[in-house]
Amino acid sequence: MQRSCQAIILAAGQGTRMKSSKPKVLHQVAHLPMVSHVAKAAINAGSQKISLVVGPDMDPVLKAVRSIHKNVQSHQQIERLGTAHAVLAAESDLGQPLDDVIILYGDTPLVESQTIASMRAALSNGADVVVLGFRAEKPDPYGRLLEEEGQLVAIREAKDASEDELKVDFCNAGIMAFSGKIILQLLKRIDNDNAQKEYYLTDAVELANRSGLKVVAMEAEEAEVQGVNSRLELARVEATFQQRARLNAMTEGATLQDPETVYFAHDTEIGRDVVIEQNVVFGPGVEVADEATIRAFSHLEGAKVASHCVIGPYARLRPGADLREAAKVGNFCEVKKAVIDQGAKVNHLSYIGDAHVGAKANIGAGTITCNYDGFNKSKTEIGAGAFIGSNSALVAPVIVEEGAIVGAGSVITKTVEANSLTLTRAKQMALSNWATKFREKNSKG
């Protein structure tokens, strides 16, 4: 029988060291709020329910988490009286708890779903409390996890640790998992008999030991459990995410010619045998299919790139760009909310927005779909096999039918018939010897 699970995400901190007007957990890593990363990990590890603990006036935090999962209950922690106090803000959700309860932090965005799943597995194998730890290169500021014969007996804060305990490099990451049957009774036994007069969740370890419960520690990489309290730490977490994403892309069969210059979003999907050149940036919502090529200095967001497409260099794909198989978008081109159909080419210095470019159509350099009149966006339809000459303006709404040719420098405002040639430029004139006379006249002055 599958075990049920709920996650409690603590996100009430204002994060004053961020020096920001918005809650700390809304600052983004790879284009997604930190708290949303945590919610995704919880859901992917099997959590059916999320309890979110926030401070006053933090509705945007709830909105960010509900964008990941609808089953979210929000609870306010008015006073900041410690981590156990924060968890108890969600007490109403613990009256009938699920099998597993996972305590997570909204400012620890790199925790992986596999790690949470491993903690749940320990609960299913008989543990009552599971604590996540890491081996620190510089353990000085962290609480130490003290073990005896496989049992975690205490979490000792550095300031309270003995000389021998300070030699331990196994440190507390803060993330914990509890059997739903015992979490509430443990939380209610935690007191604030300490210098700070706060209720510490870590005290649950010693209380559980006194009750004869099984308490175990699990280990994660230090990079995975990095917390964020400042802009500097946010940058470090972003760097860790990008290293992970690059490694994953290459492991799954993509070629990154200069990995350190490629930047991914949280949801970027890259197929096999994709080649990504230098200085490429992926915004949210990008899918790149097998054997596509993304050339240097391109920026993609909200775009679909089919197999065998070639993008760039210096191309920009904006939201709604949909490139079908073997399409090309080249140098200094921008595509927005447009389908570039199979084998079509937009190779040079063009803007294609709110449009459909038919299969094997060719868009000449400097072509613009004039899609906006100051109030409304209108669509341009370009048929299969059409040829649009350089420096043409297609004033939407307008249709260029299949196989039509538009001469260079044209301004198209009406339907272009299939297989026709349409020209709108002025007739060329020549005034013989005019240039010579003009130069002579101006050189006398």
82 is in an annotated binding site: yes
Angle in degrees, 0-180, between the axes of helices 34-44 and 59-66, rounded to the nearest 10:
40
396 is in an annotated binding site: no
C-alpha Rg value of the chain to the nearest Å? 30
Nearest to 302 by CA among 278, 282, 325: 282
289 is in an annotated binding site: no
365 is in an annotated binding site: yes
Cα–Cα distance measured from residue 211 to residue 203, given in angstroms and rounded to the nearest whole number: 13
Please tell me whether the peptide bond between 313 and the residue prior to it is cis, using omega within 30 degrees of 0.
yes
Cα–Cα distance measured from residue 276 to residue 330, given in angstroms and rounded to the nearest whole number: 14
Is 299 noted as a catalytic residue in this protein?
no
Token pair recorded at residue 404: 């039509």
Per the residue annotation, which of 37, 75, 85, 348 is the catalytic one? 348
202 is in an annotated binding site: no
Region label for 291, one of left (φ > 0), alpha (ψ between -120 and 50) or beta (otherwise): left
Cα–Cα distance measured from residue 165 to residue 346, given in angstroms and rounded to the nearest whole number: 66
127 is in an annotated binding site: no
Contact 118, 42 (CB under 8 A): no
**Alpha helices in 89-230, H assignment, sequence order:** 113-124, 163-166, 183-189, 203-210
95 is in an annotated binding site: no
Cα→Cα distances 233→24, 58, 407, 417, Å: 12, 22, 56, 60
160 is in an annotated binding site: no
Q: Which sign, positive or negative, has the C-alpha torsion 64, 68, 72, 78?
A: negative
390 is in an annotated binding site: yes
Cα–Cα distance measured from residue 425 to residue 244, given in angstroms and rounded to the nearest whole number: 54
Contact 308, 325 (CB under 8 A): yes
98 is in an annotated binding site: no
- Residue that is written with structure tokens 């969740």 in the block: 201
The torsion angles phi and psi of 204, rounded to 5 degrees, stand at -60, -25
Cα–Cα distance measured from residue 330 to residue 317, given in angstroms and rounded to the nearest whole number: 11
196 is in an annotated binding site: no
The torsion angles phi and psi of 238, rounded to 5 degrees, stand at -60, -45
Cα–Cα distance measured from residue 175 to residue 75, given in angstroms and rounded to the nearest whole number: 19
351 is in an annotated binding site: yes
Q: What is the dihedral of CA 276, 278, 282, 286, to 10 degrees?
A: -20
10 is in an annotated binding site: yes
105 is in an annotated binding site: yes
150 is in an annotated binding site: no
Active site residues: 348
> Where is the binding site for UDP-N-acetyl-alpha-D-glucosamine, in residues?
10-13, 24, 77, 82-83, 105-107, 143, 157, 172, 229, 318, 336, 351, 362
> Where is the binding site for Mg(2+), in residues?
107, 229
> Where is the binding site for acetyl-CoA, in residues?
365, 371-372, 390, 408, 425
> Where is the binding site, in residues?
10-13, 24, 77, 82-83, 105-107, 143, 157, 172, 229, 318, 336, 351, 362, 365, 371-372, 390, 408, 425
